[in-house]
């Protein structure tokens, strides 16, 4: 199977070149194949958020090699990273992060706007995506008129906008009750099975992690366990 992500010896330190320099990630290695559904679990402070930021190219590692779908991240310029976030990665956050005072439809259209897609195509695609997450009837609503689960569904539709190769979900059900959380997880399974998306789920919940194909356990900035399920 083709390799989607290849991270070698990733280190991340904060407060560089100061007396209180702090290394959070101590040389992580991770390879993710195309179409994989894996989870990264760990207690808070284990470095999983930092790791996610690096995987999502929101941040650069202090040291190490990272190849994302054939692009060497170390050599890419900042604006190229913007393009990668735009087209190759779909983010789903615990706090949804929908743009306020902006309709669900417009929120979904946003990544396509930055990708320079035509207006007509944007509208068509956004409607199609909202239909997949079952939010068509509320697409003109602003985020403050939506429930948590509905917001997260819009956020997933937005993450899918430019048909990214990877969906990076950071505690997507963390702020939801278990019933709504279940629905969100079902959507991820559907995207994985039907569209073959590579999905990386970051969570502290062992039950959710059990649903994925591979579980990576982080502790104190190191991978302490890796379990592949069948």
Longest dimension (CA), the chain: 55
Taking contact as CB under 8 A, which single stretch among the options 29-37, 52-60, 192-200, 206-214 is the one that binds another protein?
52-60
Residue 37 binds another protein (CB under 8 A) = no
Which residues fall within 8 angstroms of residue 119, CB to CB, at 6 or more apart?
none
**Nearest to another protein of 141, 214 (CB atom):** 141
How far is residue 182's CA from residue 186's CA, in Å, rounded to a whole number? 6
Closest distance to another protein from the beta carbon of 54 (Å): 10
Residue from 43, 115, 140, 224 in contact with another protein (CB under 8 A): 115
**Nearest to another protein of 30, 110 (CB atom):** 110
Residue 83 binds another protein (CB under 8 A) = yes
Residue 152 binds another protein (CB under 8 A) = no
Residue 205 binds another protein (CB under 8 A) = no
How far is residue 179's CA from residue 187's CA, in Å, rounded to a whole number? 13
Residue 111 binds another protein (CB under 8 A) = yes
Closest distance to another protein from the beta carbon of 94 (Å): 11
Residue from 113, 121, 163, 220 in contact with another protein (CB under 8 A): 113
How far is residue 213's CA from residue 230's CA, in Å, rounded to a whole number? 7
Binding site for another protein (CB under 8 A): 53, 56, 58-59, 78-79, 82-83, 85-87, 91, 93, 97-101, 110-111, 113-116, 158, 162
């Amino acid at each position: 199977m083709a390799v989607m992500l290849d991270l070698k010896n990733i280190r991340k330190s904060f407060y560089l070149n100061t007396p209180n320099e702090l290394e959070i990630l101590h040389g992580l290695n991770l390879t993710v194949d195309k179409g994989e559904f894996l989870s990264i679990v760990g207690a808070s402070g284990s470095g999983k958020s930092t790791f996610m930021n690096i995987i999502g190219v929101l941040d650069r590692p202090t040291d190490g090699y990272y190849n994302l779908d054939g692009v060497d991240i170390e050599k890419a310029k900042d604006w190229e990273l913007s393009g990668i976030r735009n087209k190759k990665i779909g983010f789903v956050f615990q706090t949804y992060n929908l743009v306020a005072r902006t309709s669900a439809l417009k929120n979904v259209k946003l990544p396509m706007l930055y990708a320079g897609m035509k207006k007509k195509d944007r509208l068509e695609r956004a409607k199609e995506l909202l239909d997949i997450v079952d939010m068509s009837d509320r697409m003109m609503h602003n985020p403050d008129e939506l429930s948590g689960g509905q917001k997260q569904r819009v956020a997933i539709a937005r993450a899918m906008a430019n048909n990214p190769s990877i969906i990076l979900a950071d505690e997507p059900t963390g702020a939801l009750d278990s019933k709504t959380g279940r629905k969100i997880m079902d959507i991820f399974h559907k995207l994985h099975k039907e569209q073959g998306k590579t999905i990386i789920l970051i969570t502290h919940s062992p039950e959710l992690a059990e649903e994925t194909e591979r579980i990576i356990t982080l502790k104190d900035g190191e991978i302490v366990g890796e379990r592949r399920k069948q």
